[in-house]
Amino acid sequence: MSRLAWWHLKRAWRRLQTAIFTRARYSEPKMRWMGALGVFGFPTYYLVWAKLLPQPYESLGLRLFGSLLFLPLMLVSQWPSRLRAWLPLYWYLAMTFALPFFFSYMLLQNGATVAWLLSHLISVFLMVMLFDMGSFIVTGIVGTLLAVIAYALAPAQPLATQALLAYSPVWAFALISGSVFSISHSMSNQARIDAIIAATNNIAHELRTPLASVRIATQAVDRFLPLLAESHRKAVQARLDVPELRESQLGRLGKAMDTIGREVEHANTVIDMLLVAARPIGALQLEPVSARDCVQEALERYPFGSQHERSRVSLGVGDDFQFNGSRLLLVHVLFNLIKNSLFHTGRAGKGSIVLSVHADEGGQRVVCHDTGPGIPPDVLPHIFERFYSSATDYSTGLGVGLSFVRMALERMGASIICRSTFGEFTEFTIVFPDLTPRES
């Protein structure tokens, strides 16, 4: 029972970390301006509340601390890459100080004046805009509790009980509306998933039919082209009046048919990847599957853009193994890994890709290793998150590819881990449970 509770606790913590990171990444373009607002806003409003519109309590030291705390955010573009992994945590620490702690503390110290009641309410709505529901609750509770403790240790004004009681319904409404807003954010994510599924279904419907027609026409031309070429040769030998057509031109016609056929297969494979990655994975029919056969099929079926692109991917040496799973799902998992590696090695202009199968003391695993640009350390822990996609991260497109990879492997009882050194390599390792009976 305790292990189950610990597992649920760890899972909740991972979800909170994911939410914190996602919102921090979303807020990153605005961090510089938020940092500048904090650096200059804290001392500016000290002049307002201490000189122009004097309030019962002010603290220049606390405001200067807030300015210093926000200075790194104003200079966020100059953070070294090794420190950027800590940016989401620093962002939340700074915002916890600036919003729930500072405004709650100043509200209590000023005896709940009208100015600080309104200021505190505004801080709640700012939190609603910046945080998801989990972060909103956690930061609000932590910041408010710290403010209460700080006030209890050194109260400047008596506690304004009546004013706070009158304010509490308004504060509760702000909290509830904030929670509803956060839930609507989750609903918008589900709406994005539904939109992707609908879009892929439309793609399949609109493109499958013309592609099938092109394939049938290509097969017909490919079937009768040798007969037409032979008829032309006989007509030339019989000295009939026919247009001149050299052997090289006939050869190019044959290659053109092969090219059209490959492009049709390419398009169908891409459509399959979109459909499989976007649709929910239902019940699986598990069967014994050869890992090496899946890797070889992925290399044979993947729609490489050119022979040069194909030459960058190779099959490594290793021992085969059987696993209980879905051949189709694993092939599409490998498609996504190959696609990502090709994209990033191509963009970097360097790197090769090796797919290998291993069954040894290290376990049963399939490895995709590339010597491309690597993954930034602040991005690495989050590449499998749904909709995690930006100009600087490792996943491409809509941010569903690697999320699908992890989900598909979990449905087969497998897992995936990623190791990377920025600027050197990236390695995805798919680990399958070893079902071989052990000797007692």
CATH number for the domain harbouring residue 413: 3.30.565.10
Same structural domain, 36 and 110 = yes
In a domain, 164, yes or no: no
245 with 314, same domain: the answer is no
pLDDT > 70 fraction of the chain, expressed in percent and rounded? 74
Within 10 angstroms of residue 207's Cβ, the number of other Cβ atoms is 14
Band (pLDDT 50/70/90 cuts) for residue 296 is: very high
Q: Are residues 261 and 291 in the same domain?
A: no
419 inside domain: yes
Q: What pLDDT shows up at residue 194?
A: 64
In this structure, are residues 355 and 366 in contact, taking their beta carbons and an 8 Å threshold?
A: yes
Query: Is 90 exceeded by the pLDDT of residue 325?
Result: no
When pLDDT is averaged across residues 410-419 and rounded to a whole number, the result is 86
d(Cα 333, Cα 318) in Å, to the nearest integer?
19
Is 189 inside a domain boundary?
A: no
Q: What is the mean pLDDT of residues 352-374?
A: 91
Does the pLDDT at position 137 exceed 60?
yes
My answer on whether 306 and 408 are in the same domain is yes
H or E element in which residue 201 lies: helix 161-237
Mean pLDDT of the chain: 79
How confident is residue 427, by pLDDT bands cut at 50, 70 and 90? Answer: very high
Binned at pLDDT 50, 70 and 90, residue 44 comes out as very high
Q: Count up the domains in the chain and report the number.
A: 3
Residue 187 maps to a domain: no
Last residue of a domain, one of 250, 278, 306: 278
Instruction: Give the model's pLDDT for residue 87.
Output: 81
Among the listed residues 357, 398, 399, 353, the one whose alpha carbon sits nearest the alpha carbon of residue 373 = 353
Question: Between residues 97 and 26, which one has the greater pLDDT?
Answer: 97
When computed from its CA atoms, the radius of gyration of the chain, rounded to whole angstroms, is: 31
Shared-domain flag, residues 23 and 61: yes
Whose CA is closest to 333, among 393, 398, 276, 397?
276
pTM above 0.75, yes or no: no
Whether the per-residue pLDDT at 311 is higher than 80: the answer is yes
Q: Mean pLDDT across the stretch 36-40?
A: 94
Residue 439 lies in a domain: no
Residue 68: HSE in the Cβ half-sphere, 13 Å Cα cutoff: 6
Least confident range from 33-37, 145-149, 232-236: namely: 232-236
How many Cβ atoms are within 10 Å of 268's Cβ, its own excluded? 18
The band of 392, judged by pLDDT with boundaries at 50, 70 and 90, is: very low
Name the more confident of 18 and 348.
Answer: 348
Most confident of 130-144, 186-200, 211-225: 130-144
Same-domain check for residues 221 and 312: no
- The reply to whether 179 falls in a domain is no
Indicate if the pLDDT at residue 396 is higher than 70: no
Q: Which residue has the higher pLDDT, 203 or 213?
A: 213
Alpha carbon distance 104, 413 (integer Å): 48
Q: Are residues 299 and 420 in the same domain?
A: yes
Domain that holds residue 294: 287-432
Q: pLDDT at position 101, please? A: 96
The per-residue pLDDT for 405 is: 84
Share of the chain above pLDDT 90, in %: 27
**126/43 same-domain check:** yes
Contact 371, 424 (CB under 8 A): yes
Distance of alpha carbon 398 from alpha carbon 381, whole angstroms = 18
Q: Is the pLDDT of residue 186 over 60?
A: no
Closest CA to 110 of 151, 153, 76: 151
Tell whether the model's pLDDT for residue 199 goes beyond 70: no
Mean pLDDT of 13-39: 72
- By residue count, the chain amounts to 440
The shares of helix, strand and coil residues in the chain, as percent rounded to the nearest 5, are 70, 10, 25
pLDDT of residue 258: 73
**Shared domain check, 258 and 394:** no
Does 185 have pLDDT greater than 60?
no
| Mean local confidence (pLDDT), 49-76 | 93
Q: Please check the confidence at residue 398 and state whether its pLDDT lies above 50.
A: no
pLDDT band at 242 (very low <50, low <70, confident <90, very high): confident
Which of 16-25, 113-122, 317-326 has the weakest average pLDDT?
A: 16-25
Q: Determine, yes or no, domain membership for 310.
A: yes
Instruction: Identify whether residues 244 and 348 lie together within a single domain.
Output: no
How many of the other CB atoms lie within 10 Å of CB of 403? 20
- Domain membership of residue 305 (yes or no) is yes
- State residue 48's pLDDT score: 93
| Phi, psi (rounded to 5 degrees) for 161 | -60, -50
Cβ-contact 422, 375 below 8 angstroms: yes
Neighbours of 72 (CB within 10 A): 18
Note whether 17 and 150 are same-domain residues: yes
Question: Cα-flanking dihedrals φ and ψ of residue 26, to 5°?
Answer: -65, -35
Q: What is the mean pLDDT of residues 183-200?
A: 60
Single residue among 129, 159, 189 that ends a domain in this structure: 159
Please check whether residues 101 and 240 belong to one and the same domain: no
278, 298, 332: which is the final residue of a domain? Answer: 278
Distance between CA atoms of residues 390 and 32, nearest Å: 18
